[in-house]
Structure 1
């Protein structure tokens, strides 16, 4: 059954098209250094909201990593003391 599912997924992935060629790159695109979305968000003051959300998520991930590391260290000490 697994072989059939894998084969089915492989054939389905062959039909996936990443880009349909609707966009063409010309010489003006190479000299463009402005980012419209960032400029718009900065002018509206929303860029600070985006930065705050990203920093909150990053801080949460760091805190979670520290908590998990402490728990793993505690469990490692318990296992080592039982064996030792």
Structure 2
């Protein structure tokens, strides 16, 4: 039964596409105007976006450092017990 469900899901996923293909033109290569970024910058929202990204990155970095400290303590404790 699991095999048939797997085959069915694989068949469905083959047909799924995220977006339609768009032809790339020469104008796309020379375009340096990013409309969304210009609008966000003019309204001051780009700074909010950068701030949120910095906060998320700082949180992830803090979590990794904290986890590394805990693992180091556990390794040290294991070495002392042996």
- The answer for the alignment partner of 1:47 in structure 2 is 46
Unaligned runs of 5+ in 2: none
TM-score (norm 2): 0.84
Q: CA deviation at 1:81?
A: 1.4
| Structure 2 residue 14 is the aligned partner of structure 1 residue 14 | yes
Number of residue pairs the alignment of both structures matches: 82
TM-score (norm 1): 0.83
Change (3 A) 1:2 1:72: farther
CA–CA separation in structure 1 for the residues paired with 2:12 and 2:33: 38
Task: Please give the root-mean-square deviation of Cα atoms over the aligned residues, in Å.
Answer: 1.7
Change (3 A) 1:16 1:45: same
Unaligned runs of 5+ in 1: none
| Structure 2 residue 27 is the aligned partner of structure 1 residue 28 | yes
